[in-house]
């Protein structure tokens, strides 16, 4: 299964709408880095509105892809983390401290614009 990555001007948009197994998560990591490389995108929004569970593996894959993108020169913002997901991540002991987040897609794009222009 592949997660589609959309290009919008200098940004990439991803909305995760599938139940992620390990392979899908790792494939997404690779696809996103290749897409950043091919398009020269400066900013990425990964929207998690439809994701109802993030376990430690998916959290690690997401945290890693944010750091990998940063190495390539692209900023990533995670948006739309559901209340139940935020609660379980903290229960699990995962804070994703260094990851940039926003309430929804709109605020995520605003945040990227500020970070990239400011």
Partner 1 sequence: MDIQSCVEVRNEWDIVSARQLGRNMAKELGFGNVDQARITTAISELARNIYLYAGRGKICIEPIDQLGKKGLRIIALDNGPGIREIRKVMEDGYTTSGGLGAGLPGVKRLMDEFSIESTVDVGTEISATKWLR
Which residues bind to partner 1, rule: CB under 8 A?
A: 19, 21-23, 52-57, 59-60, 82-85, 87-88, 91-94
In angstroms, the CA 101 to CA 108 distance is: 7
In terms of CB distance, is 39 or 88 closer to partner 1?
Answer: 88
CB of 41 to partner 1, least distance (A): 28
Print burial letters for 71-91: b (CB count within 10 Å at least 16), e (below 16). Answer: eeebbbbbbbbeeebeebbee
Residues 6+ apart with CB under 8 A from 103: 79, 80
CB of 100 to partner 1, least distance (A): 21
In terms of CB distance, is 22 or 106 closer to partner 1?
Answer: 22
Could you count the other beta carbons within 10 Å of the beta carbon of residue 48?
20
In terms of CB distance, is 12 or 66 closer to partner 1?
Answer: 66
CB of 25 to partner 1, least distance (A): 10
């Amino acid at each position: 299964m592949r997660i589609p990555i959309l290009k919008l001007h200098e940004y990439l948009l991803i909305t995760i709408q599938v139940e992620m197994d390990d392979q899908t998560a790792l494939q997404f990591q690779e696809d996103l880095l290749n897409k950043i490389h091919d398009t020269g995108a400066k900013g990425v929004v990964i929207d998690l509105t439809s994701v109802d569970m993030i376990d430690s593996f998916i959290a690690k894959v997401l945290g890693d892809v944010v750091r990998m993108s940063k190495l390539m020169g692209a900023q990533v913002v995670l948006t739309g983390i559901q209340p139940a997901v935020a609660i379980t991540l903290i229960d699990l002991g995962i804070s994703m401290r260094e990851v940039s987040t926003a309430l929804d897609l709109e605020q995520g794009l605003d945040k990227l614009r500020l970070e990239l222009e400011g």
